[in-house]
C-alpha cells in the first residue's frame, strides 16, 4: 500500500460535476493498493496516518497529529501511485491491484481510518473519473509505502 499525504486547508473531490466530498483543515490522502497488500498493511498505515505529527503546535513546530487538531480527511483511491516507468515512456500499472482485490481493501481502509479518527471521512469513488482540488498547507507532502516499514 502506498499513500501520498498532503496537509490541506481545504480539499474536495468532484465526480460528474457534483462535489462528492469536501474538507477544510486536515489531510488529503491518495491511496494506491497492490496485489500483495492485506489487513496488516491497513492497520499499520492507518495508525501512521492518525498519529503522524505534521500539524503546527503553538510554537509553529510540526508536533500535532490529525487527532490533536481534530482535522478532517479526504481519501482518494489512485492506482497510478504504483506506476512503473522503468521501460519506455508509457507507465505500466501491473503492480496495481485489480478491483476484486482493491475495492474490499479500500473499503476496509476507510472503515479502519474512520474508527481511529472517531468520525467519518470524505472519499472519492473507486474507479471513477474524479477531479480533485487541494490547497496544500505548507506545502507539506509525505509519501509512505507499507513495503518500506523498516
**What amino acid positions are annotated as catalytic residues?**
78-80
Question: Closest Cα to residue 75, out of 104, 32, 43, 118?
Answer: 32
Where helices occur in 1-92 by DSSP H, the ranges are: 39-51, 66-69
> Which residue has 506545502 as its cell numbers?
139
60: left (phi over 0), alpha (psi -120 to 50) or beta: left
CA angle 27, 109, 133 (to 5 degrees): 35
Cβ(62)–Cβ(54) below 8 Å: yes
Amino acid at each position: 500500500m502506498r499513500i501520498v499525504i498532503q496537509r490541506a486547508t481545504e480539499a474536495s473531490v468532484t465526480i460528474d460535476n457534483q462535489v462528492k466530498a469536501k474538507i477544510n483543515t486536515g489531510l488529503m490522502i491518495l491511496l494506491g493498493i497492490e496485489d500483495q497488500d492485506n489487513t496488516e498493511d491497513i492497520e499499520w498505515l492507518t495508525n501512521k496516518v492518525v498519529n503522524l505529527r505534521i500539524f503546527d503546535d503553538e510554537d509553529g513546530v510540526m508536533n500535532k497529529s490529525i487527532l490533536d487538531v481534530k482535522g478532517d480527511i479526504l481519501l482518494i483511491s489512485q492506482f497510478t501511485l504504483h506506476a512503473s516507468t522503468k521501460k519506455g515512456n508509457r507507465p505500466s500499472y501491473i503492480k496495481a491491484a485489480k478491483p476484486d482485490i482493491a475495492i474490499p481493501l479500500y473499503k476496509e481502509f476507510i472503515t479502519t481510518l474512520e474508527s481511529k479518527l472517531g468520525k467519518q471521512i470524505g472519499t472519492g469513488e473507486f474507479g471513477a473519473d474524479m477531479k480533485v482540488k487541494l490547497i496544500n498547507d505548507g506545502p507539506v507532502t509525505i509519501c509512505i509505502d507499507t513495503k518500506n516499514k523498516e
